[in-house]
């Protein structure tokens, strides 16, 4: 199809200082895990976005010097010639696809945990890091020589970046990095010319950009990603106050070729990478809309906001809010988003659902994952392409049982590879339990997991037949179906007896009783009796807290109990923790963390504090925990209990088929696999990954198990950089 | 000096199947961070212990297969030939020093987060992982073919380990790995021959050991690390029940050459690696003391317990509790512990203080640190040796101001390197604020930081003069002292105005008032008025909770308030979190997490819930956070407030000296450095590291800053293993 002409504006070139980007798509710097330590993964992950049409692709946030060491969190690094070599491969691939390569220059100031370099960061004043407070992270206050030294660090890092082939040097002036530490009164108590007045607080940023411009501006674009509102009131940067003042200064001083705008600081990163549970696309617009008018026609503005709709993108450009569409998560969910718009295939866009699983893996110190695009991070190490599926050499027929997300993904990939697939679903709609999930409060965007796959399956009709409402298949049905190979994707359910991690069934927990319910039952319409409802959350991800909100929205008095130390604990990784707590407080939901339910009766439950036993160990005995019991049990009156405690695979069909393996050959069934939750309940990204992987490796010798992947790491005997005895580059002024 | 003959027993050889260890020192498998990805760091860290006399040195826990992928936590891995190559270098170094090399074979069962391999673990039954519950980690239930497959995985891993040169194959049957999942009723609900009775539940472990013995027993020692009590009562393993039964089976079946015993499961790992705040050396003895009698004379027993005293070690051997001294943390704090005992230099032992900083870094996903031995992890990458200090070529005189831990360490290392050092302390004792710390509840062992360095300084009298009680030095004193070079180690103090991370001074917080106190003031004797005391903890490590306990011990009504989501949040990394909460509950201390103090008055404070603002963002404004205020402030009556909110460097002397830099040359002062907390407040390990580093690199071109180190990582262009397209090894039975 041809591109819709109204989207043409998205494909105009934009001049950025000495460079020109081929279109208005800018893959904003985002964490992914490879850093400068896994160069193949880095290059191919970013390179895939270049291939998919993003005019600019960026590294992760990139530390400029060992003093800005975020380890154990993985930044990119441009510290030495090893980093130059590793990142230059990324630049090569970006250039091969006609994209510009950008690097975000990052100095952590007083926020560097430094657990690899063990160095200290320098900051405008000395304070306990609000990011890593309980890890005792402090920097030390810079004198004017330090300021010149750190500016030199940026310049030297910029030179290495240019050497690696980067086109755009973006200075992070957000996320509580050094430039915004100088800007914000809460971090800057200086009384010299770098503190106090706005002019003084912004001096560091201006001088830094001047130095970069002077040293590298002829060769590279010099830009900044500026946090126009830190959401901290007057102690931080407010959009209509210092926010616009900074933009005025940047324009007046002529120190940048482009400005990318964001909101929220590092501690409130979840307001920049806003999860869809709390932020709908474009939520930052009220904060950034003045930016463009201040910067004028010559300084392009990049704006983000989890934008996946080309119409919305065009509207923002037409409204003068921004010039270039920034995207981090949309580029993860669909590296080919620009190409699909360009080719008029808007319905093929795999839209980000805003679940923040991607960043949750970084927050755990790991490698990126994505619920929508499970090929992310696999481009190099497994050779996966999000849009290309190798044709199978043995195109047999495959029955896929169950059309939840895993079954849909498996059928989609198998169909794309040339298999003849029948996807059969007991219920009358696609989506499995995810249909229910996407009806819950705040989760409507999560339904894109289903709608994207539904669209793709409809385009694969030649290869995939979808049969809905066929009821549960029996083992006989499967064996006699006539398929050469079978994949079971029958999902999982919530336990009805309250068992959770560490805890067996709860006395009185029986979901056949009216006052005891599971999410599965609520999905199927079981009503919640009475006004007082208790949610028991042993899962810690979204289900417990979402049902708590659902109940509160229905006017019930809600008590939320979890065994974890914090409510919906996984929200710490998805950066929803703050807003989760704000929501619970606003809705008046009572919280008991570190508690569990001992017993459920009609009208009441008994709770216990989990740390009611004393810290001392008693002599070993038999039949009891060897600790002193200090009490700590109490009763609560409740009318209903919803058990969000743990799940089990729906695998009765699998068990029966396996026990009848001797009959497979007679029925011309070659093999049977299971995938997704029916193998093991998991986060959705993992379930979809598993299904995708199975389909992609369906003709490998042992398709039930993944093939090896490339492990990037030091091999003994391979060279190392630096070597022992290498000098430290002196960046101090003489 | 000669060895004390009563310690001779520690240096007897012990036969372990086909191998013989040269003495009774066994470096228990412990996390460190290098894994199989940083082979140089791994080899030299373990190799240093071999050099220091540990007869056996182990890897980290070592994953046998990608299904047992603990990433993002770093295990060793013996998955492929890359791992064989990397770990063989470790074995080479161990053998060079006459030690045996051990590998702990680990399969996570249902507890594998799998964030690198993305595979699922197999487990006896299916359950939500108690270790990673809120990350939705589940395995899948094994059938009998799976059991044979996983046993094959162990055997194949054992073969690779033997190929790498390992002498001892230790099967983890603790820490909630697969063998103990089979053993424990809470994880095993099977009804086949692997579930139900003790015989059935122990079958997997026995069959596994038999298979390893059969395949590799002629060449390698086959052993197990067995958790004799999981501290879960009858749902787990109890020492006097299934614990001893397992040992009886192991002896009867003749399947092991040695048994290492431990207690506590993976979730209660802090009961095995017991922090000294809760566990004194040898605390496991009541649980393990029957072990030896059951196993008989032919099966040696390894026991741990943070043992650092040779007399205690000998007593345990004489009492028949164990045969071999296991040590993880003692070997980290002092790799040369065996050598020092052997040479009769017991007073030189750098005893572990049980602070668990080492494991806290692993828990954060990073590389090991140690408060006592800051050379740990630096053996390869910086070439540091814990007992050897290169003589300086320019042995000038150095004045070190301040004899807290950083000053002492700096003086010790400078003195060892041949500098002439004067270490001057204002107070009449060594130790700085750490003297106070080690008088606080549960922290007496932390005083070893001081006593070790005191002893070493006394041995360095030829090079280090210690001047105590000299009062505070002024800038004039320093300049006129006559030293060629100066190091300031003047420490830090707690803010007296309540400022913390994210929070400025608190209204009414003024530590000149009688009812407002800081830890520094309590150290100096300021008394806490009244019965009701509130601890405000913005630090989140040990000080807040320890002062809360101190106050409770004095009979006060204690309220503990912190801004973090959990009490003493860093305890999650040191594995003290559970016992911290148990202690607070036992002592009746009231907790407000996610709160902060708004205002302090005589007799009362106002507190606020930190998430009192709504989750929605309002339009940007000026002068306020753009969120709805939902209330959430309240008053508490208290008689005193102790502010443990944040610290500041004591650096007035530094500032003055720097401002008078022009006078240095005239006073023949070449340069002046600062180190430790006076540079930036930090955890003690970091402060000591910084002081040690400065002294070690005192003659580098820019001693204020660290030299580069060897970064182990993939360099683009270097080989990788596996390569794309490599087959997966089939371990299924045909």
Scanning A558-617 for CB atoms below 8 A from B yields 563-566, 569-570, 572, 577-586, 594, 609-617
Q: Which residues of B touch A86 (CB under 8 A)?
A: 714-716
Contact check, Cβ <8 Å, A707/B726: yes
Tens digits of residue pLDDT in B3-30: 999 999 999 999 999 999 999 999 999 9
pTM across the whole model? 0.97
Residue B507 pLDDT level (bands cut at 50, 70, 90):
very high
| Interface test mutation site (partner B, options A68, A109, A136, max chain B beta carbons within 10 A) | A136
Contact flag B115-A369 (C-beta cutoff 8 Å):
yes
Q: Are B617 and A231 inside 8 Å of each other by CB?
A: yes
The dihedral over CA atoms of A663, A656, B145, A484, expressed in degrees to the nearest 10, equals: 50
Q: Which residues contact residue B189 at a Cβ distance below 8 angstroms, ignoring those fewer than 6 apart? A: B124, B125, B195
Residue A730 pLDDT:
86
Using a CB-CB cut-off of 8 Å, the residues of chain B touching A268 are none
Does the CB of A116 have a partner CB in chain B at under 8 Å? Answer: yes
Q: Which residues of chain B does A658 touch, with a Cβ-Cβ cutoff of 8 Å?
A: 143
pLDDT confidence tier of residue B502, bands split at 50, 70 and 90: confident
- pLDDT in the model for residue A578: 97
Cβ-contact B65, B157 below 8 angstroms: yes
Residues 6+ apart with CB under 8 A from B639: B515, B529, B530, B531, B532, B533, B603
Whose CA is closest to B470, among B410, B408, B427? B427
Does ipTM surpass 0.95 in this model? yes
B236 backbone dihedrals φ, ψ, rounded to 5°:
-115, -145
Interface touch B85/A706, C-beta < 8 Å: no
Instruction: Report, as ranges of residue numbers, the positions in chain A whose pLDDT lies below 50.
Output: none
Report percent pLDDT > 70 for chain B: 100
Which residues are CB-contacts of A3 (< 8 A; sequence separation ≥ 6)?
Answer: A11, A341, A342, A343, A344
Interface contact flag, A680 B278, Cβ < 8 Å: no
pLDDT tens digits for range B116-125 = 999 999 999 9
How many CB pairs (< 8 A) connect A and B? 419
Chain A contact set for B623 (CB, 8 A): 233-234, 238
B9 touches chain A (CB under 8 A): no
How do residues B290-329 score in pLDDT, each as one tens digit?
999 999 999 999 999 999 999 999 999 999 999 999 999 9
Nearest CA in chain A to B279: A616
Of A127, A582, A624, the CB nearest to B646: A127
What count of other Cβ atoms lies within 10 Å of the Cβ of residue A624?
11
Q: What is the pLDDT of residues B686-707, one digit of tens each?
A: 999 999 999 999 999 999 999 9
pLDDT mean across residues, chain B: 97
β-strand partners of A562: A537
Range B646-654 average pLDDT? 97
Q: Which chain B residues contact residue A240 at CB under 8 A?
A: 620-622
CB-CB under 8 Å, B566 with A566 = yes
Residue B721 contacts A, CB cutoff 8 Å: yes
Residue of A nearest to B569 (CA): A134
Q: What is the pLDDT of residues B512-557, one digit of tens each?
A: 999 999 999 999 999 999 999 999 999 999 999 999 999 999 999 9
Which pLDDT value is given to residue B39?
98
Nearest to A115 among B278, B366, B628 (CB): B366
For residue A241, give the nearest of B540, B622, B679 by CB distance: B622
Compute the distance between CA of residue B645 and CA of residue B499 in angstroms, rounded to an integer. 6
* B536 phi, psi to nearest 5 deg: -105, 110
Q: Per-residue pLDDT tens for B55-102?
A: 999 999 999 999 999 999 999 999 999 999 999 999 999 999 999 999
Question: Residue B109 — φ and ψ, nearest 5°?
Answer: 60, -130
pLDDT (mean) for B642-647:
98
Torsion (CA) A342, A348, A354, A357 in degrees, nearest 10: -110
Residue B734 has pLDDT above 70, yes or no: no
What is the C-alpha separation between A205 and A148, in angstroms, rounded? 12
Per the CB < 8 A criterion, the answer to whether B295 and B271 are in contact is no
Per the structure block, which two tokens stand in for A514?
């009216």
* Contact call for A238 and B118, based on CB within 8 A: no
Q: Do A682 and B138 touch (CB under 8 A)?
A: yes
Distance of alpha carbon A494 from alpha carbon A681, whole angstroms: 10
Residue B485: helix, strand or coil by DSSP?
strand
Instruction: Report the C-alpha gap between A170 and A123 in whole angstroms.
Output: 20
Residues 697-716 of B with CB under 8 A from A: 700-702, 705-716
B4 vs chain A: nearest CA distance in angstroms? 34
In chain A, the residue whose alpha carbon lies closest to the alpha carbon of B286 is A619
The pLDDT of residue B233 is: 94
- Closest chain B residue to A704, measured at CA: B119
A103 Cα to chain B: minimum distance (Å): 18
């Amino acid at each position: 199809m041809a591109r819709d002409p109204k989207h043409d504006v998205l494909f105009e070139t934009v001049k950025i200082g000495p460079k020109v980007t081929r279109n208005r798509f800018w893959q904003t710097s985002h964490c992914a895990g490879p850093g400068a330590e896994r160069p193949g993964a880095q290059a191919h992950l970013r390179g895939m976005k270049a291939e998919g049409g993003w005019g600019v692709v960026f590294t992760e946030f990139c530390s400029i010097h060992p003093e800005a060491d975020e380890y154990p969190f993985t930044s990119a690094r441009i510290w030495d010639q090893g980093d130059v070599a590793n990142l230059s491969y990324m630049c090569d691939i970006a250039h091969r696809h006609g994209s510009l390569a950008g690097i975000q220059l990052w100095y952590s100031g007083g926020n560097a945990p430094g657990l690899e370099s063990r160095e200290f960061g320098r900051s405008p004043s000395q304070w306990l890091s609000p990011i890593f407070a309980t890890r005792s992270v402090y920097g030390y206050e810079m004198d004017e020589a330090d300021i010149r030294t750190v500016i030199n660090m940026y310049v030297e890092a910029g030179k290495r970046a240019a050497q690696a082939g980067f086109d755009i040097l973006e200075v992070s002036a957000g996320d509580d990095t050094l430039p915004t530490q100088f800007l914000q009164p809460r971090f800057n108590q200086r009384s010299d010319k770098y503190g106090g007045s706005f002019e003084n607080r912004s001096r560091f940023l201006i001088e830094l950009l001047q130095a970069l411009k002077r040293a590298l501006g002829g060769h590279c674009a010099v830009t900044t990603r500026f946090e126009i509102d830190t959401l901290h009131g007057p102690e931080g940067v407010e959009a209509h106050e210092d926010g616009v003042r900074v933009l005025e200064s940047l324009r007046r001083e002529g120190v940048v070729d482009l400005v990318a705008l964001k909101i929220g600081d590092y501690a409130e990163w979840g307001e920049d990478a806003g999860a869809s549970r709390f932020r709908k696309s474009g939520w930052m617009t009220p904060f950034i809309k003045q930016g463009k008018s201040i910067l004028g026609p010559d300084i392009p503005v990049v704006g983000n906001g989890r934008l996946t709709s080309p119409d919305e993108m065009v509207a923002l450009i037409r409204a003068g809010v921004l010039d270039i569409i920034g995207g981090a998560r949309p580029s993860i969910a669909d590296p080919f988003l620009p190409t699909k718009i360009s080719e008029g295939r808007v319905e093929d866009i795999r839209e980000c659902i805003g679940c923040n699983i991607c960043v949750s893996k970084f927050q755990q110190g790991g490698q990126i994952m994505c619920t929508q695009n499970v090929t992310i991070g696999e481009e190099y190490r497994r050779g996966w392409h999000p849009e290309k599926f190798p044709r199978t050499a043995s195109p047999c027929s495959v029955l896929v049982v169950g059309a939840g997300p895993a079954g849909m993904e498996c059928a989609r990939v198998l169909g794309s590879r040339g298999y003849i697939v029948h996807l059969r679903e007991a219920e009358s709609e696609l989506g499995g339990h995810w249909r229910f999930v996407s009806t819950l409060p705040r989760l409507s965007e999560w339904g894109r997991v289903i709608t994207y796959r539904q669209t793709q399956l409809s385009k694969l009709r030649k290869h995939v037949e979808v049969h809905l409402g066929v009821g549960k298949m029996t083992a006989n049905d499967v064996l006699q179906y006539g398929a050469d190979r079978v994949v079971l994707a029958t999902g999982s359910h919530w336990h009805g007896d309250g068992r959770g991690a560490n805890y067996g069934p709860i006395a009185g927990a029986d979901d056949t009783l009216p006052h005891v319910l599971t999410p599965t039952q609520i999905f199927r319409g079981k009503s919640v009796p009475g006004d007082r409802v208790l949610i028991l959350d042993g899962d810690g991800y979204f289900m417990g807290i979402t049902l708590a909100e659902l109940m509160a929205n229905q006017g019930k008095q809600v008590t939320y109990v979890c065994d974890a130390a914090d409510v919906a604990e996984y929200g710490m990784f998805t950066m929803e923790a703050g807003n989760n707590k704000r929501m619970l407080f606003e809705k008046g939901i009572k919280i008991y963390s570190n508690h569990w339910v001992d017993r459920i009766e009609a009208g009441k439950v008994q709770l216990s504090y989990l740390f009611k036993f004393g810290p001392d160990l008693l002599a070993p005995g038999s039949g009891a925990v060897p600790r002193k019991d200090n009490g700590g049990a109490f009763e609560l009156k409740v009318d209903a209990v919803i058990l969000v405690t743990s799940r089990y695979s729906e695998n009765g069909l699998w068990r029966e088929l396996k026990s009848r393996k001797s009959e497979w050959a007679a029925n011309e069934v070659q093999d049977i696999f299971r995938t997704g939750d029916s193998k093991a309940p998991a986060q959705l990204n993992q379930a979809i990954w598993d299904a995708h992987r199975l389909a992609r490796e369906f003709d490998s010798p042992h398709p039930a198990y993944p093939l090896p992947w490339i492990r990037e790491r030091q091999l003994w005997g391979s060279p190392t950089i630096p070597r022992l005895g290498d000098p430290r580059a002196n960046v101090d002024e003489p």
